[in-house]
Structure 1
Amino acid sequence: MTVRYPSNAKNTFSRLSEDVSEWQHGNLCGHFFSRHRSPLLEHLLKYPDTPFSVADACILKTDIKTALALTSFDGKQFVVKRYNVAHIFHRIRLAFQSSRAKNNFAFAKLLGEIGVPSIQPVAWVQERIYGLRARSWFIYEHIDEEMSAYPLTDQSDVNVIDHALYQMTQNLVAMRNHRLSHGDMKPPNLLHTRDRVVLIDLDAMRQHKSQRQCDRALAKDISRWMRWWRSDNPQPMISQKSEKILKNAGFEVPDS
């Protein structure tokens, strides 16, 4: 496996950390954080689909677009998220888009630097076939005791609800201050533990050139969030609490 280190500011990841290393092996390439360097990680980067194919594979999720598997090495647990290629036309579209695995890797690191809890990135891998992007993999640290936010209902503990909504709003405020938008802000894309709410699924996250562009994108994020509680999974109390706390933070909330 060939490892190269980012050497200038033009490199996508040099702005993130000097700890980021670039690597290539056959038709695979990507980046990883050097603090995770080990023979076991290097083997996983060379064969990123192994966690999905071993006899005792622990598959967390699988559908036509993505699959998630749990793996362990160096005394820790990690999640490998694979982005599938549905068909040839999908592969052609990928040639003109940024890798979703790469997007997750970069923005997960950036969110942590601005104080927004997110998954801890380890590496990302891009496969190329005949020069075109194919599958990609994003590797991150497993979050212990994780729980998706979407099981919240109006019957949940009010303190748990208030904590989740407060943390979610603080995340949005920090994102607004750094001109970031999520792109799919719905409860299943939040995990909350005892003391924090973690933002996941950063496939569509963007950093905007202007505050005006960011505000428009965040308005769509908030609209998506409210639609979940108003129609996708109606919870009148959570909807009202969301509307109030978002307005108090200076966000526009669409009418129901």
Structure 2
Amino acid sequence: MTAASDDPLAALRGAGWNAPAPPSLTLVDGGRVDFRAVLRWLPGRRLSGVAEWQGRPVFAKLFFGAGAARYAQREQAGLAALSAAGLPTPGVLTVVEQHGAVLLLSEYLDGAITLEQALEATHENTRHLVESLALLGRLHGAGLVHDDLHLGNFLFHGETPWLIDGDGVHAASPGQCVDNLALFLSQLPLADDAQRAALLAAYARPVDPELLDAAVTASRQRRLRRFLGKTLRNCTQFAVDRTARRFSTYLRAADDVLAPLLTNPDAALAAGRLLKDGGTCTVAALETGRAPLVIKRYNLKHWRHALSRAWRPSRAWHSWLAAHRLAFYGIATPPPLAMLEERFGPLRGRAFLLTGWCPGDNLLHVLDAAQEPPPPLATAIESLFAVLHRVRITHGDLKATNLLWHAGRLFLIDLDATVEHRNAAAFRRAWRRDRARFLRNWPADSTLHRWLDERLPGV
């Protein structure tokens, strides 16, 4: 890579959170690497993407900044360990080190899809899961673990599953394989827990089911805490602006749409189509030129109300975390896009929440009290309440108008009072209230009420 002032590394080192344009690099031997697409960007550390080198497509990782040589060496060592164990992984083509940066080029699997993409495309088809578990069993059988075992690090190229990202691969310590297996399983939908026995048959290694169940639960909780923390700090997915007068967080990928709205949210609200104008909140729908949005302002009715809210997180803050928590568990809710709190030093004032728009009809309109729900909706209702009960989440205001039926899914909205309970007794009390409130939407002697009462989880 060039050392002159036109060295693109200088621009990369100074780049912020938004991914830079794909760079072109001149190598010391006179060759050239042209990035065609940036797939992952970690500011000050690494750029990964598809590139062209010697007339062929390659996968390129450019390490720079502090520790670049160490990270590159870990990547090489991990890929070499996978290859030595006979596990499918892209081969390293060349490594170039110059000017404090390291460029690693490996085979590019053209047309490959990740396990995550495969599961989204095939839904009920478990072939990809079974093959991935078999590959994971081989990894552990070779005495190795992968610390970054997310679903994007399993690639399917043709009929073959591949493991990538050697940086996370190292020798396993005692008991680490169970935790590594739990890390993988904790990323699957809760509904997939029912087929765990079949998946473990593909894993083909002995494991204590009770020990594994506890490890999966603990891993899910760790992943949830880390993810919710990310929604409140600057990272590749979220942009945060924190001053003495305001705090905002929003999806970085929609920066061009969301940032202007957050600059003057009152004007955005006034320009929208009013959906609700109450004392505690005002809601409007917005057309942005892309997908429609919903903006919700949490009002302060008077000085006593303002004082009571000033010392605690706003309802927008609570709803933001609740929406991300539901999405983490696979529970449908309009996507949370942005949240803003007005502040006066440590005191909190009004707050705003922006979400996607769900065009579905609410259950008060969809369901007929004189009939049982149609089969697809009946399944969705039972599944939703089963998951909520399992993860101890209560909504707090289960009016039928807060559940929307759209595209074969049941969406929860209005999450101000949503709680994930740690205390079993508190959960039982809150669940009884939620269940009773939902049933009160229809007459107690109706066919629908009786059907729901028989099928919703008790306490």
Instruction: Give the aligned partner of residue 22 of structure 1.
Output: 240
RMSD: 2.8
Partner residue of 2:299 out of 73, 84, 91: 84
Shift in CA distance, 22/214, structure 1 to aligned 2, threshold 3 Å: same
**Which of the pair has the greater relative contact order for Cα pairs under 8 Å at 6+ separation?**
1
Amino acid at match of 2:254: H
Partner residue of 2:449 out of 231, 235, 239: 239
Instruction: Give the aligned partner of residue 171 of structure 1.
Output: 384
* Matched-pair contact (CA < 8 Å) for 2:250–2:337: yes
3-state SS in 2 of match to 1:139:
strand
* Residue 98, structure 1, aligned to residue 305, structure 2: no
Q: Is there any run of 5+ residues in structure 2 with no aligned partner, and where?
A: 1-15, 18-224
Shift in CA distance, 237/96, structure 1 to aligned 2, threshold 3 Å: farther
Instruction: Write the mapping of 1:1-256 to structure 2, written as runs, cut at 5 A.
Output: 13-14=229-230, 19-24=237-242, 27-38=245-256, 40-54=257-271, 57-73=272-288, 75-129=290-344, 131-144=346-359, 146-151=360-365, 152-154=367-369, 158-160=372-374, 163-230=376-443, 236-246=446-456, 250-252=457-459
TM-score (norm 1): 0.81
Shift in CA distance, 96/165, structure 1 to aligned 2, threshold 3 Å: farther
Amino acid at match of 1:139: L
- Greater CA radius of gyration, 1 or 2? 2
Whole-Å separation in 2 of the counterparts to 1:11 and 1:155: 43
Whole-Å separation in 2 of the counterparts to 1:118 and 1:53: 24
Amino acid at match of 1:197: L
Richer in helix (by share): 2
3-state SS in 2 of match to 1:251:
coil
Whole-Å separation in 2 of the counterparts to 1:186 and 1:48: 28
| Farther off after superposition, 23-32 or 195-204 | 23-32
3-state SS in 2 of match to 1:13:
helix
| Farther off after superposition, 218-227 or 20-29 | 20-29
Shift in CA distance, 15/140, structure 1 to aligned 2, threshold 3 Å: closer
Shift in CA distance, 96/132, structure 1 to aligned 2, threshold 3 Å: closer
* Matched-pair contact (CA < 8 Å) for 2:281–2:298: yes
| Farther off after superposition, 96-105 or 86-95 | 96-105
Deviations 1:106-152 (A, max 9, x none): 111111121111110101111124753221111001123x2111223
Whole-Å separation in 2 of the counterparts to 1:94 and 1:142: 27
* Matched-pair contact (CA < 8 Å) for 1:82–1:137: yes
TM-score (norm 2): 0.47
3-state SS in 2 of match to 1:76:
coil
Q: Is there any run of 5+ residues in structure 1 with no aligned partner, and where?
A: none
List, as ranges, runs of 4+ consecutive aligned residues in structure 1 with deviation greater than 4 Å: 9-12, 15-18
- The offset of 1:78, in angstroms, is 0.5
Whole-Å separation in 1 of the counterparts to 2:236 and 2:427: 28
